[in-house]
Amino acid sequence: MAILKLENGQTLRNVHDISQELAPLNIQLNRWSLGDNLELHHLLAQDSLNEAEKEQVLQTLDHYFEELQQSAGYQSRDLVVLHPGIPNIDELMAKFDQIHTHADDEVRYVIDGEAVFGFVRPDGSQVELTVQPEEYINVPAGTEHWFYLTSAKRIKAVRYFISTAGWIPEYTGREIRSRQTLLI
């Protein structure tokens, strides 16, 4: 279940309340079921996956990709798998842990683990949203945001692309004022 922490320290756990808080940013947050495919759940329980296993996971979940292709013109998808055993994971993630924008939407379907998306709202306030398994998030192009892994340093997420050209971060230079300290 998504958790939104407001800058004033208030924490929201109700999806409707979270959606209202994020509405000025046009962020889409949905819940997509993984279903009960035992082979899929077995693969998701593993720390790392080889390319064939990643493709198997993607194909199992492609009904969501097909919907996005038809409704929004998405052209490709991939699966990112991060876990504590990856060498230099902190250095790898550092480029996302600064406030930035993209020329294209940033779209993730979290299927294992969790991570935090931070956002700068139109009034300048900042919020942080913890996304967890079975949560789909679409961060519109041009939205000031940052991203980091929780202390578990574990996530598997399907990324959906209209074009990969927009995935280059454009750093804004704005400072992140606070970090989540939620115990999840």
User: Is there a binding annotation on residue 83?
Assistant: no
Residue 145 annotated as part of some ligand binding site? yes
> Is 41 one of the annotated binding-site residues?
no
Task: Report whether 16 belongs to an annotated binding site.
Answer: no
The identity of residue 115, as a single letter, is: A
Annotated binding site for Ni(2+): 100, 102, 106, 145
Binding residues for Fe(2+): 100, 102, 106, 145
Binding-site residues = 100, 102, 106, 145
